[in-house]
A and B are shown apart, each in its own frame.
Chain A
Amino acid sequence: EAQVTQNPRYLITVTGKKLTVTCSQNMNHEYMSWYRQDPGLGLRQIYYSMNVEATDKGDVPEGYKVSRKEKRNFPLILESPSPNQTSLYFCASSLSRPSDYNSPLHFGNGTRLTVT
């Protein structure tokens, strides 16, 4: 089954304790991206990757890191989490640029992160 898999689904941590949220897709997609979803703000892009070893900042990259060493994996790293990073995070992938009409985004089921 074609899917984007994120882990964990729920994560509670404390300020400053490094964490990684994993994301993997099995559709051989070139494009991958991380979003955070906050009430009233919709989805905001954190980082994206057009291909292996090609990553770039989205709209809200501060406090986050990513890597794309393999095509299928795109982990999100929080080196020193803070309470304002409490949010619902989504990983997504698409065949090419997500705005291409023939390249819809496929989303994972989300990771709800709480930083205390």
Chain B
Amino acid sequence: AQSVTQLGSHVSVSEGALVLLRCNYSSSVPPYLFWYVQYPNQGLQLLLKYTSAATLVKGINGFEAEFKKSETSFHLTKPSAHMSDAAEYFCAVSGWFSGGYNKLIFGAGTRLAVHP
């Protein structure tokens, strides 16, 4: 069965520093992978998605993620953090399940804090 593990429930960086949020997945079939972001008091919104077209995926707000099959990872990065990046980030994986219905499985989330 598909699953997602996000390493680190809280990450804190300085403004201007590199952001690295880790996501490892488990899937018996080629997965689709997603990163969603949740700003305070809002719902989740799609940041980027991997669909096998390219291993390096660029998303909104300067974020990107690289799919590494050998490491079963899909880590999210941004070269230079901005205060407005403070939010909770969720990695999600999709795939077929035994019932035939394919759905998203979300990780537990990583809360990113950015300090001056």
Contacts and interface: CB of A to CB of B under 8 A. Distances in A.
Given A40-B9, A99-B94, A4 B103 contact: no
A41 B101 contact: no
A90 interface: yes
Given A4-B43, A40-B9, A105-B46, A99 B95 contact: yes
A85 interface: no
Contacts, number: 58
Interface in B12-51: 32, 34, 36, 41-46, 49, 51
B45 A56 contact: no
Contacts of A56: 101
B113 to A, nearest CB: 16
A99 B32 contact: yes
Interface in B31-90: 32, 34, 36, 41-46, 49, 51, 90
Q: Is the interface of B mostly helix, strand, loop or mixed?
A: strand
Nearest to A90: B43
A104 B90 CA distance: 14
Given A40-B9, A99-B32, A45 B103 contact: yes
Interface in A37-90: 40-45, 48, 56, 58, 90
Nearest to B49: A101
A37 B80 CA distance: 29
Contact of A41 (B44, B104, B108): B108
A109 B101 CA distance: 26
B90 A43 contact: yes
A49 to B, nearest CB: 12
B85 to A, nearest CB: 19
Contacts of B49: 101, 104
B102 interface: yes
Nearest to B51: A101
A48 to B, nearest CB: 7
A87 B36 CA distance: 20
Contact of A105 (B32, B44, B95, B101): B44
Interface of B: 9, 32, 34, 36, 41-46, 49, 51, 90, 94-95, 101-104, 106-109
